[in-house]
Structure 1
Amino acid sequence: MNILEIRTLRGPNYWSGYWKKLIIMRLDIEDYEQKPTDKIKNFYERMQEVMPSLQTHGCSYKEEGGFYKRVKDGTWAGHVIEHFALELQTLAGMDVGYGRTRETGEPGIYNVVFAYFEEAVGQYTARAALRLFLELAEGKSIEQIKQTLADEIQEMREIRERVRFGPSTGSIVEEAESRDIPYIRLNDQSLVQLGYGVYQQRIQATVTNRTNMISVDIAANKAATKKLLGEMGVPVPKGFRIREESEVKSTLESVGFPVVVKPLDGNHGRGATVGIETLEEAIAAFHVAQEQSRSKYVIVEKMLAGNDFRALVVNNRLIAIAERTPAHVIGDGENTIQQLIDRVNSDPRRGYGHENVLTQIDVDGQTEQILKLKDYALETVLPTGEILHLKTTANLSTGGTAVDRTDEAHPENIFLFERIAKIIGLDICGIDVIAPNLSEPLRENGGGIIEVNAAPGFRMHLSPSEGIGRNVAEHVVDMLFPPGRPSRIPIFAITGTNGKTTTTRFIAHVLRGSGLTVGFTTTDGTYIQNNQIVAGDNTGPVSAQLVLKDPSVQVAVLETARGGIIRSGLGYDHCDVAVVTNIAADHLGLKDINTLEDLARVKA
């Protein structure tokens, strides 16, 4: 069996009007064309043992067990591989749900089509599904197949975590999509364009094109933040900025225990150590913090008493508050620390990376350092009732938990948090607070502000482990696209067999004459107004997106040829005006488009 081609569709396409993200695997099943599944010894029984979850696939019977019945009665390899590809993604936490397999005009060659969430995962899944079929068909031991399957599912999870949007970016994109605001991913990280052309806005995680760079610099410098806030009457803990180990002792004498040691310019809790009670602990924490500090400066400050809260302010309004707790275990006098961690990780709400509400707790260097300072090991039996924090910070990404406290905030604290965001100047602002609670004013309960964060994470607010999840992304989209602000420019799409370029140029000329800035694509190049930006045949999705990404373009006129549609799908979700010049029997036989009806469907 041989994969002839794998194509990735990223927009509206020939195969589906709804599913835009599809893998097309052109597959030569070779000898298996003569061997449907009922002719392969024990294939049905072995498949059931390895993938019992396929019971849920209804297939053409549209009921549970339907796919099993098809396999038992006899179906072809391509069809089975399609279902394997769908179920592998489901087992890896990506339930996509759409697939189809179609014969081509060549004997034994099939197009296996299935949906994906992440492109890299989809491409990996195509090959993994083929391997699984061959291992089942060719008699590899069940135990070996199960182990390979488990390894490949974990690899798919890891690929997903590397390439997917994080929870914050993903929530903003999903909110935009729910409002019919289009998006374009501008790199392989979290830089995203919302909207088209002149109406576009950009985000990078929770930084927007409205975010003030000076404000980001202030927030990144913890000493500068504390000084500015302190001078404005905001309660902040006493602390100092140091750069040499020799300064640790004198600083501790001035501040007093317990202290927090953290990088001057760190983020996401990296390099921070809390609850330090001795000089030895402080020196060790100093070096950990300095490793994470670009400037090599470290903050040593008084540790406030209370709980850890994060307040989120968007567009100068308090949106959500979460109480955060670091990853921890509670001793029972019987189980070791490792056994207690395993028990916590068995919670079905915990998963790999961001796939579930909570993240599994990993034993890393930070955990090992905490255990060493307490003279513990993973084999230590923790005394009954003792709470052992396994991380120095309360980030959800390291196994921490969050409880929603939005509705408990005292009005004076709400005013304080909104004022802090204005003082620093951030449009999206995360404020870290240590206080016994937030139902009393901080000035009364001894609480204080320990940090202000640009690009704060949303996950703790979107999916707290306890309390109400807050759709904080809607407030970001409201800020970027207030009522009445459009997100789309008009799109004219021109296709057909003859006259596409002439029609495109004529429409662009008329629109330019009305005073609009026009971006258009043709077989001889991409143009903004009459300026050629790129030469060549620019009638595919990449060229279309070049026009839609240009911030000066008020209207797009896009020549759209069959090749780009078949290869990758359209470069936009829909157009406002569609022109089909004519459909003639031209270029038939390419990419399995064999009839005039096939070609008309592509062009449509």
Structure 2
Amino acid sequence: MRIRSIRVLSGPNYWSIRRHKLIQMRLDLEDLQERPTNTIPGFKERLEALLPGLWEHQCSRGCYGGFLQRVEEGTLMGHVVEHVALELQTLAGMKVDFGRTRETSTPGTYNVVFEYQEAEAGRFAAKAAVYLCQALVDGEDYRRDLELDIQELREIRENVRFGPSTQALLDEAALRGIPYLRLNKGSLVQLGYGVYQKRIEATTTEKTSIIATDLAADKRATKELLQDMGIPVPKGYTVRRRSELAATIEDVGGFPVVIKPLNANHGKGITVNITSLEAAEIAYDAASQYSDVVLVEKHLVGDDYRLLVINNKLVAVAKRIPAYVVGDGRSTIQELIDEVNRDPRRGFGHENVLTQISIDDMTLRILESKGYTLDTVLPKGEHCTLKSTANLSTGGIAVDCTDIIHPYNAFIAERAAQIIGLDVAGIDLICPDIAQP
């Protein structure tokens, strides 16, 4: 088989009124034009063993196993490539199910059309499906290549897909019948068309002040302004050199402290509950990888809450819990992490509601501070935290607390958003109990 061309369709098209995101691959079957699947010994068995999920493809039969019936009775390879491309994307966490295969005016050349979620992943799936089908025709073992293909699709998806905040907005837009158009490779999106169109970039809207955005990105300036306006913030100072650490820690009131980059997000480079100068120097090195200026703050004891304020009104509250494992007296920490990651709710990147726990420098630093390694067997019932931050992207979990927040705490969050000037604001609050003022 030979791929003649691959086109990405991202708007209304010939193939579907409703499905606008389609890959159109022009595929020359060459010698396979005269070899339907029922004439290739063992092809159906090898295909079904490699991709058992194809049993769910109903195809024109309208029932489970419908596509595999077509393969058994005899269908051309272009049709098989269509379904394999769909299944590869589904296995990589991108559920798609629409496809069409039609012969062109050139005998033996077909338009293989299938749905995609991310264009780059769709292009890759088209090529991978052709290679996979050809390998099965030739009787080759494709299992290892299949694993590599699926992982490659996952990585492509994570590199190009919208972040969870943007995707949540677009999912809601779709429910409301609002069309959207991606305007760049990042998170710049147009909602609607014509005179009523609106543009967003992640959670930045057309009404978001650029001054507020720049202010929120500067932790030091944000803290100073909030403090001047009577909002409680942890005492802290910036440092530019390791030699300044000891004096700065004394200025904030001594240990324990938190050390973080001045300009970073998603919990990068943050270390909390530091209780010694040696640990502080290690934390400084970690933070300085993300920013030339490092922030040293007094460590606050309490739970980590994320409050969402939109148009100066609190709309949601989540208690964020860092990634952790609980000992059973038999398993090592590594084995406990592997067991947690087998939870079907956890996936690679943001493909599921939870993210798999990764082992990074932050994890190793925390374990070292406790005298543990990944090979340590935790006593039964011992709770071992693996991250300094509670971000979902690092394996943390979230508990909805919107209904229990005390009105005073809600007022603080709404006032903080007004002071900074953001129309959409995510505010972190550390306190022992969100239900108490």
Q: Into which bin does the TM-score normalised by the smaller protein fall?
A: over 0.9
| Code of the aligned partner of 2:279 | E
Q: Is the counterpart of residue 337 in structure 1 residue 333 in structure 2?
A: yes
Q: Are 2:238 and 1:256 equivalent residues in the alignment?
A: no
Counterpart in the other structure of 1:42: 42
Mapping of 1:97-246 within 5 angstroms?
97-141=97-141, 145-246=142-243
Post-superposition CA distance 1:337-395 (Å, at most 9, x none) = 10010011011100011010000011122222223333322111123333222222111
Aligned to 2:421: 425
Q: CA deviation at 1:315?
A: 0.6
Could you say which residue in structure 1 is the equivalent of 2:272?
274
Partner of 2:70: 70
Q: 1:406 offset after TM fit, Å?
A: 0.6
Counterpart CA distance in 1 for 2:256 and 2:45 is: 63
Deviation for aligned residue 1:171: 1.6
Query: 1:449: which partner in 2?
Result: none
User: Corresponding residue for 1:285?
Assistant: 283
Q: Which residue of 1 aligns with 2:19?
A: 19
Secondary structure at 1:313 match in 2: strand
Match of 2:434 among 418, 434, 438: 438
Q: Which has the higher contact order (CA 8 A, sep 6+)?
A: 1
Alpha-carbon distance in structure 2 between the residues aligned to 1:265 and 1:80: 50
1:243 positional shift: 2.0
In the TM superposition, 1:455-604 aligns within 5 A as none
Q: CA RMSD in A?
A: 1.5
Secondary structure, counterpart of 1:319 in structure 2: strand
Distance in 2 (alpha carbons) for counterparts of 1:74 and 1:152: 27
Shift of 1:402: 0.6
Q: How many Å apart are 1:434 and its aligned residue?
A: 0.8
Percent identity (aligned)? 58
Q: Distance in 2 between matches of 1:287 and 1:92?
A: 36
Match of 1:319 in 2: 315
Q: Which has the larger radius of gyration?
A: 1
Cα-to-partner distance string for 1:387-427 (whole Å, 9 max, x where unaligned): 22222211101111111111111111111111111111111
Conserved 8 A contact 2:327-2:378: yes
- Residue 170 of structure 1: how far off its partner (Å): 1.4
What's the secondary structure of 2:208's corresponding residue? coil
SS in structure 1 at match of 2:403: helix
* Match of residue 299 from structure 1: 295
Counterpart-to-counterpart distance in 1, 2:277 and 2:381: 28
Contact 2:266–2:393 under 8 Å retained in 1: no
Q: State the Cα distance separating 1:253 from its structure 2 match.
A: 2.4
Q: TM-score, normalised by structure 2?
A: 0.96
Counterpart AA for 2:134: L
The one-letter amino acid paired with 1:125 is A
Check the 8 A contact 2:28/2:110 in 1, yes or no. yes
Provide the residue aligned with 1:590 in structure 2. Answer: none
Shift of residue 197, structure 1, vs aligned partner: 4.3
Equivalent residue in structure 2 for 1:396, among 373, 392, 397: 392
Q: Which residue of 2 aligns with 1:58?
A: 58
Aligned residues: 436
* Runs of 4+ deviating beyond 6 Å: none
How big is the shift at 1:242? 2.1
Deviates more, 1:166-175 or 1:317-326: 166-175
In structure 1, what is the Cα distance between the partners aligned to 2:29 and 2:184? 36
Give the residue type in structure 2 aligned to 1:6. Answer: I
SS in 2 for 1:19: coil
Q: Which amino acid in structure 1 is aligned with residue 241 of structure 2?
A: E
- Whole-angstrom CA distance in 2 between matches of 1:65 and 1:176: 34
Q: Per the alignment, in what secondary structure is the counterpart of residue 251 of structure 1?
A: helix
CA distance in 2, matches of 1:112, 1:221: 50
What stretches of structure 1 of length at least 5 have no aligned partner? 442-604
- Give 1:198 deviation, angstroms: 4.2
Contact kept? 2:5, 2:26, Cα under 8 Å: yes
Counterpart residue number, 1:79: 79
- Unpaired runs of at least 5, structure 2: none
The one-letter amino acid of 1:12's match is P
- Counterpart of 1:299 in 2: which secondary structure? strand
Instruction: Check conservation: 2:37, 2:71, Cα contact below 8 A.
Output: yes
